[in-house]
């Protein structure tokens, strides 16, 4: 395992700058997640680290080696693709051992490494199958197995769970976190799903428009977002962000309050509101409120006992939980 | 209780079935029948396997059969190899890629007879541009179409030139369907360009290879017009193939014998293509 340091990374496609002055340090053994909306540059940044794209300027150091201009295979990285990139004409065994056979390693070594990786990923009984005979989760594991046998300094994951259904995604999140714990490897993971970022990361890098908005632990980003963008991106349902004269009246340009940090009362409170819509999720309920003073609000309350649609209620922010930008 | 089957849906099949029967099925069955007869276009006398026995007894007819196989495998193999190499080149982002694709495809659009006549002139032993050019650099060019040992291969070369554009086009479509992720994964695993070609491109482009091989093998086995335009099967019978032999037999009035040649060609195509298609489709790669 190795650390990864990016210094003043810039990437342009023609006259379009897609990454600007990226400085980032990822520690040895850290699980770092790049998160952001589509087109924010997170996959491009991963591909720059992988060497699949070359930087326009700046420096990439993996461990103590400057790999800015090194070939992908010489960077000591392994990558798991969104599509898995499993060769359909090869068996699971051949897919996992593909890199080793390219390097012309002895057959006995390839066999031992492939079987060890397969054992660790519970793929032992599937080694002679072709990818088309595997489920989505099994394919995912084969792709991870192919990365593991290379014994890389850094693992790179490009939205690896986005093709899986919700239940399998939750299971694979746990498996990946377990794998990280077991291998202790440096992992860089790209996703647009803030839940994946929050649940898996040691460190989250929030990207927006080709630049880093904020770097921090999941709870740092949740509790101390540096900008309205981060505040709105981290957390589900997203934070209520109020702008304009309503925010100015509250002493800021943008006022933020998370749905779970609103108190509701039928008798008194900060803002008078009308219940417009109710989303019952079982253990909790999401209320969509219309207020006269600050516009629409979303509130998250526990349980099922909620006022019906059309009821007049009062909403108040929990003290110390408000954000003013 | 199940309702009795209605005849109603079959009315929709009838027009197609009539057309297929009249235009395809009946002539095929008739040609099989006439292959077993002595036939003068007005009357036919059943003679059993005599036409086939005679066909395989005639050395020039057997040579035509061998030539057909050599020509078909040579042209389909080379079209497949060069088509793939050209497709790789023309998808690599080289300069003027679109223009070059058009250039490669252009011969496909030109009349085969026109190409045959043009190349026959170019390959003329004394006045042809090829030998005149070779002469300029001190090389005595062979008789491309007048040498019995070269004629068939010279025609095969022209067929390759004419047909490689279509193979290239099919391969370009096949290559475009391969996800770039496979190449990127291979690069990360340390694959060289050559390894990427052999271990990613060649296996993943297999569906295109099956199409190219099948089309060009069938085309090669029933090839006639280019050969007729360039050598008429000569010198002697050295570049005769089944189709030209059949044509010559028709011209000579041996209708039964030539129909037997057609049946042999039909069986030959079936014997080669059916197992090949079965084998390739079983192994076909699904991405």
- Between the CA of residue B3 and those of B6, B12, B13, B271, what are the distances in Å? 8, 20, 21, 43
Domain match, B39 and B154 both:
no
Give pTM, 2 decimals.
0.85
Residue of A nearest to B179 (CA): A85
Whether residue B118 sits in one domain with residue B41: no
Does the beta-carbon distance from B185 to A89 stay under 8 Å?
A: no
For position B234, what pLDDT does the model report? 85
Query: Which domain does B256 fall in, by range?
Result: 56-283
Q: B183 and B74, same structural domain?
A: yes
A81 and B185: CB-CB below 8 Å? Answer: yes
How many folded domains does chain B comprise? 2
| The pLDDT value given to residue B196 | 96
Take residue A99 and report the two structure tokens written for it.
């890199």
Pairing of strands A312-317, A262-265: antiparallel
Q: Say if residue B274 is in the same domain as residue B226.
A: yes
Mutant choice from B177, B180, B186, B188 vs A, greatest count of A C-beta within 10 A? B188
Does B284 contact A at CB distance below 8 Å? no
Which residue segments constitute the domains of chain A, with CATH numbers given?
4-232 (3.40.50.300), 239-324 (2.40.50.140)
Together in a domain, B133 and B20: no
- Label residue B94 left, alpha or beta by phi (over 0 means left) and psi (-120 to 50 means alpha): beta
* pLDDT at position B1: 60
Helix (H) or strand (E) holding A7: strand A4-13
Does residue B185 carry a pLDDT above 60? yes
User: How many angstroms separate the CA atoms of B114 and B107, rounded?
Assistant: 10
**What is the strand order of the sheet A312-317 is part of?**
A262-265, A312-317, A271-280, A284-291, A295-302
Residues 138-157 of A with CB under 8 A from B: 146, 150
CB atoms within 10 A of CB B242: 27
Contact B184 A73 (CB under 8 A): no
Which residues between 50 and 69 in chain A have a beta carbon less than 8 angstroms from any beta carbon of chain B?
A: 50-52
B145 lies in the same domain as B38: no
- Cross-chain residue pair A52–B187, CB shorter than 8 Å: yes
Mean pLDDT of A65-71: 95
Query: Are both B13 and B95 inside the same structural domain?
Result: no
DSSP letter string, A267-280: S--SEEEEEEEEEE
pLDDT digits (tens, 9 = 90+) for B36-75: 998 888 888 899 899 999 888 888 888 999 999 999 999 9
Contact yes or no for A50/A79 (Cβ under 8 A): yes
Q: How far apart are CA A124 and CA A107, in angstroms?
A: 18
A77 within 8 A of A154, measured Cβ to Cβ: yes
Domain of residue B256, CATH code: 1.10.3720.10
Please name the residue of chain A whose CA is at the shortest distance from the CA of residue B190: A73
Answer whether residue B1 is part of any domain. Answer: no
Which pLDDT band, with edges at 50, 70 and 90, does B285 fall under? low
When CB atoms are compared, the residue of B181, B187, B199 closest to A73 is B187
Provide the 10 A C-beta neighbour count for residue B17. 12
Do residues A82 and A100 touch, judged by C-beta distance below 8 A?
no
Check whether residue B160 and residue B44 sit in a common domain.
Answer: no
Q: What is the pLDDT of residues B16-32, one digit of tens each?
A: 999 999 999 999 899 89
Do B101 and B19 share a structural domain? no
- Contact: A73, B188; criterion CB under 8 Å: yes
**Residue B13 is assigned to a structural domain of this protein:** yes
B28 and B88 in a single domain? The answer is no
Q: Which of B5, B92, B38, B48 is CA-nearest to residue B259?
A: B38
For residue B2, is it within any domain? no
Cβ contact B188–A103 (<8 Å): no
Question: Strand A240-243 relative to strand A254-257: parallel, antiparallel, unpaired?
Answer: antiparallel
CB-nearest to A85 from B182, B203, B206 is B182
pLDDT bucket at B280, cuts 50 / 70 / 90: confident
DSSP alpha helix (H) spans, B178-286: 180-188, 193-196, 202-204, 206-221, 225-230, 242-251, 255-283
What is the rounded CA–CA span in Å between residue A148 and residue A142?
10
The answer to whether residues B99 and B157 belong to one domain is yes
- Segment (H or E) for B39: strand B37-39
Burial (CB < 10 A; 0-12, 13-18, 19+), residue B216, is: buried
Compute CA A268 distance to the chain's CA centroid, rounded to the nearest angstrom.
40
Residues B189, A85: C-beta atoms closer than 8 Å? no
Q: Tokens 């007894």: give the residue.
A: B57
A102 CB within 8 Å of a chain B CB: yes
| Res B283: pLDDT | 61
Same domain? For B41 and B60 the reply is: no
CA distance B14 to chain A (A): 41
- ipTM of model: 0.88
Window 74-93 of A, Cβ < 8 Å to B: 77-79, 81-83, 85, 87-89
């Amino acid at each position: 395992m190795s650390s990864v340091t990016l210094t003043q990374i810039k990437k342009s496609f023609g006259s379009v700058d897609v990454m600007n002055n990226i400085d980032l340090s990822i520690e040895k053994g850290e699980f770092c997640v790049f998160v952001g909306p589509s087109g924010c540059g997170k996959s491009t940044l991963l591909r720059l680290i992988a060497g699949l794209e070359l930087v326009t300027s700046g420096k990439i150091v993996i461990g103590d080696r400057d790999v800015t201009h090194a070939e992908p295979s010489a960077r000591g990285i392994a990558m798991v693709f969104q599509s898995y990139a499993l060769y359909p004409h090869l068996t699971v065994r051949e897919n996992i051992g593909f890199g080793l056979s390219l390097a012309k390693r002895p057959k006995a070594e390839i066999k031992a490494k492939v079987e060890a990786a397969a054992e660790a990923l519970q793929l032992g009984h599937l080694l002679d199958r072709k990818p088309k005979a595997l489920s989505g989760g099994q394919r995912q594991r084969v792709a991870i197995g192919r990365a593991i046998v290379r014994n890389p300094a850094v693992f790179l994951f490009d939205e690896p769970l986005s093709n899986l259904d919700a239940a399998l995604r939750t299971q694979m999140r746990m498996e990946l976190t377990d794998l990280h714990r077991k291998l202790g490897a440096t992992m860089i993971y790209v996703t647009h799903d803030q839940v994946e970022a929050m649940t898996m990361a040691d460190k989250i890098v929030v990207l927006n428009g080709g630049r880093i908005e904020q770097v921090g632990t999941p709870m740092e980003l949740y509790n101390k977002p540096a900008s309205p963008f981060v505040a709105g991106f981290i957390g589900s349902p997203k934070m209520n962000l109020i702008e304009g004269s309503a925010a100015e009246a509250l002493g800021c340009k943008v006022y933020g309050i998370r749905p779970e940090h609103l108190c509701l009362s039928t008798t008194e409170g900060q803002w008078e509101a009308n219940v417009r819509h109710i989303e019952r999720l079982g253990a909790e309920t999401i209320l969509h409120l219309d207020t006269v003073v600050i516009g629409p609000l979303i509130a998250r309350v526990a349980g099922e006992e909620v006022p019906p649609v059309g009821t007049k209620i009062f909403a108040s922010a929990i003290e110390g939980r408000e954000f003013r930008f | 209780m199940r309702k009795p089957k209605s005849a109603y849906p079959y009315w929709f099949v009838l027009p197609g079935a009539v057309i297929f029967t009249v235009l395809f099925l009946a002539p095929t069955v008739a040609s099989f029948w006439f292959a077993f007869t002595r036939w003068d276009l007005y009357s036919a006398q059943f003679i059993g396997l005599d036409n086939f026995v005679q066909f395989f007894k005639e050395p020039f007819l057997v040579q035509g059969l061998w030539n057909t196989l050599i020509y078909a495998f040579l042209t389909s193999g080379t079209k497949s190899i060069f088509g793939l190499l050209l497709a790789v080149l023309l998808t690599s982002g080289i300069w003027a890629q679109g223009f070059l694709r058009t250039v490669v495809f252009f011969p496909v659009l030109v009349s085969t007879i026109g190409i045959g006549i043009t190349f026959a002139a170019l390959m003329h032993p004394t006045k042809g541009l090829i030998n005149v050019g070779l002469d300029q650099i001190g090389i005595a060019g062979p008789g491309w179409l007048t040498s019995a040992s070269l004629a068939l291969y010279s025609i095969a070369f022209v067929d390759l030139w004419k047909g490689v554009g279509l193979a290239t086009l099919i391969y370009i479509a096949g290559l475009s369907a391969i996800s770039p992720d496979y190449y990127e994964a291979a690069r990360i695993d340390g694959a060289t360009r050559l390894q990427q070609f052999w271990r990613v491109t060649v296996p993943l482009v297999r569906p295109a290879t099956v199409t190219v091989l099948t089309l060009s093998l069938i085309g090669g086995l029933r090839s006639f017009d280019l050969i007729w335009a360039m050598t008429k099967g000569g010198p002697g019978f050295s570049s005769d193939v089944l189709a030209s032999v059949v044509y010559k037999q028709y011209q000579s009035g041996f209708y039964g014998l030539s129909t037997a040649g057609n049946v042999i060609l039909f069986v030959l195509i079936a014997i080669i293509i059916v197992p090949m298609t079965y084998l390739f489709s079983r192994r076909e790669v699904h991405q």
